[in-house]
Chains A and B, each alone.
Chain A
Amino acid sequence: MNKIWLVIQREYLTRVKNKTFILTTLLAPLGIILLIAIQAVIMSTGSDKIKNIEVYDPSHLLEGELSSRDNLKFSFPNQPLDSLINHYIAGQISGVLEIPPIEDSLVTQYTYRYHADDQLAMDESMAVDRAIGKKIRSFKLKKLNVDASLLNKIDTDISGVPVMVLKDKNVTSMTTMVASALGFVIGYAMFFIIMLYGAQVMRSVMEEKINRIVEVLISSVKPFELMLGKVIGVGLVGLTQIGIWLLLIPAALFVGSMMFGIDTSELSSNSISPEIAGVSAQNEFLQVLQELKNMNWFLILPLSIFYFLMGYFAYSALFAAIGSAIGEDINEANSLTLPVMIPLMISMIIGFSAFNAPDSTLAIWSSMTPLLSSVVMPVRLPFDPPWWQIAISVVSLLLFTIFLVWLAARIYRIGILMYGKKATFKEIAKWIRYKG
């Protein structure tokens, strides 16, 4: 036990003290600040060129509706189209917007023209579209004799509220959304952590094998202890790195927004126009918080940790076994890692579908299948899966993980002493049967 602890310590300390580790751990949040800075710079350079657009609007459709904004100046000179186009040719303006009169106020199709050799930018044409649309709409309302205030009552905000029949639980329309998002985040985090640090375990095994120190080590410590210490040590490094990021990234976002005056929430919700987000955004945020609070954390948290640990142990043990079977060349790893990567990839894809349909047959069965369950079940957890499914999943994953660690250790103890070429799967199968 004491020796495993020594191995854990070494694996942990040499990594945490490593310059690359310190750099990547610290630079990731800095990278986020940098990203914000770059975005700020790009956005500010976008507005330095002013566009003067003259509008040919004989029917005065848009006058007063199309207001100039930051870099976009509209003017409505009462002149024929030709002379406006001549202004453009003379280089006095950036373009001419031709707004043909509306023949029939109940049109369903309307085309305007922009005379210039470069096109309107997306947001510019959208502003014009909006203004025209608004105007046509009010024309139509007038024509149809509809009161505008009445029309507002036509739009309906739809939400479906799940009502539990047998379970005693308060659920709102937000619950499903929050549950999905949470499951998604947990599932994805699981996948990346397992992949990232599992590969580190493999590299650590290979390092000791290639350095030829491994034989000295296993004359002092059992191969199983060495492998386990490695898996745990690297896992702790992963937790440390994630812990630091969890602290630094919000801090970096905060600092970034202070320095560059950008609302960082826009980064993620660019697509939602401010009018829609507006007042309800704060409301929704509180609702999300409330939903998160309502989640059965006593179930989700320990189980997520369990699934993470089991998944990490199972996969990184397999990675350790692979690392031991590789000869001298790190490039040989690819063909051997493939069989381990496949279930991980599949679990990720199923996790994706489980995020949409947490109660599909595929999601249910794969959440009870070891190797897949460590990614799929966490995705389903926020949706309150039946306890028996959780029980089967937990027991099967636990047993299978123990089996895999045992299996990996049997491969590892032989593999680390084999020098020369990369082992084939047939040879590896033989190693498992070797005695002592």
Chain B
Amino acid sequence: MNSLSLKNVVKAYSNHIAVNDVSFEVKPGTIFGLLGPNGAGKTSLIRIITTITAADSGQVLINGEPLNQLHPNKIGYMPEERGLYKKMKVGEQLMYLAQLKGLSNKKAKENLKYWMKKFEIQDWWNKTIGDLSKGMGQKVQFIATVVHEPTLIILDEPFTGLDPLNANLIKDEIYQLKEKGATILFSTHRMEQVEQICEDIVLINQGKVLLQGHVDKIKNDFKEFKFSIRFEGTQPADLPLDEVDVLASDANSIVFKTKDYEHSNAILHAFIKNQVPVLSFNEILPSLNEIFIQQVTQKS
């Protein structure tokens, strides 16, 4: 059963359609990327999943059940627009947020102690957010998102404004939470992060799904038979370059684009036949960023 499935979800505001017939599925225990440029409808979708707003039509299922009042307690949400009470003590506000997610006082305290110890911030309990640096506040924010042991964690642009140290810390935590069985929905427009972290993605633009699937498969689907070869010595004179575009070349390497593997193999074969030592031969898959830009500009 999927952790989350959306079926033909539509959400319209008075002057535009924010979410237009979106369907996708998130497998349990995976990190799922929800991608799209700014204003694509990501936040609108997330707000529907987190029950902040409701869809005009379509269905959202969490673990197979239609969205209901109990689901928010199982969801951990870190919005893009995030913040904390400036004048409230760290401990008090985390207790408040944890209890709002349905934890008992005792359980909330127990979980908070675990997380604060893990992030080495045990002695912040009585500090106010106003006293902390921005990076410290981000740790507190993350704890607030995961303190109630959610099974579905939704992170909207989680790395925005994070320093590299905290970004790494949060990334590690995301992996660990995944290992423990949580499903993570990761919304961003930063493609390099998605490539590193996510397994499956859905790309939306102007409220519509452009493409979805496993990251490797998508990259494969959009491959252009681009290769790079590095070698020692001189390039063979009889390279079969008739069906090939040479994109770049220097004394010891060539980057080229061709039609199929038959042509790329022929080139590799020419090197071997001429006994030119090949140091590496790689297929260059398009980055998600390239696919993203290509898709978004092409279809809009």
Contacts and interface: CB of A to CB of B under 8 A. Distances in A.
A212 B100 contact: no
B229 interface: no
A218 interface: yes
A6 interface: yes
Nearest to B154: A219
A434 interface: yes
Interface in A175-193: none
A41 interface: no
Contact of A6 (B50, B55, B99): B99
Contact of B83 (A18, A212, A430): A212
A136 to B, nearest CB: 71
Question: Which of the listed residues A212, A220, A221 has the most CB atoms from chain B within 10 Å of its own CB?
Answer: A220
Mostly helix, strand, loop or mixed at chain B's interface? loop
Interface in B92-121: 92, 96-97, 99-101
Contact of A216 (B14, B73, B86, B97): B97
A3 B55 contact: no
Given A220-B101, A417-B52, A211 B85 contact: yes
Contacts of B81: 212, 215, 419
A434 B14 CA distance: 8
B86 A211 contact: yes
B126 interface: no
Contacts of B230: none
A219 B144 CA distance: 12
B84 A219 contact: no
B54 A219 contact: no
B287 to A, nearest CB: 31
Interface string B7-18: 000000110000
A436 B84 contact: no
B158 to A, nearest CB: 13
Given A6-B100, A430-B14, A219 B85 contact: no
Interface residues of B, number: 32
B88 interface: yes
A213 B54 contact: no
B56 A435 contact: yes
B82 A212 contact: yes
Given A14-B88, A220-B72, A430-B14, A215 B82 contact: yes
A10 interface: yes
Given A212-B81, A213-B83, A435-B54, A219 B88 contact: no
Contact of B55 (A216, A220, A419, A436): A436
Contacts of B292: none
Contact of B100 (A207, A217, A434): A217
Interface string B62-91: 000000000011010111011111111000
A436 B100 contact: no
A200 B53 CA distance: 27
B97 A220 contact: yes
Given A211-B85, A213-B85, A219-B52, 7 more contacts: A207-B85, A213-B82, A216-B83, A219-B79, A435-B56, A436-B55, A436-B56
- 6 nearest A-B pairs in the assembled complex, by CB-CB distance: A436-B54, A212-B83, A220-B100, A215-B79, A219-B77, A211-B83
24 contacts: A14-B92, A207-B85, A211-B86, A212-B82, A215-B79, A216-B77, A216-B83, A216-B97, A216-B144, A216-B145, A217-B100, A218-B52, A219-B50, A219-B52, A219-B77, A219-B79, A220-B73, A220-B100, A417-B47, A419-B81, A434-B13, A434-B14, A436-B53, A436-B56
Interface of A: 3, 6-7, 10, 14, 18, 207-208, 211-213, 215-221, 417, 419, 430, 434-436
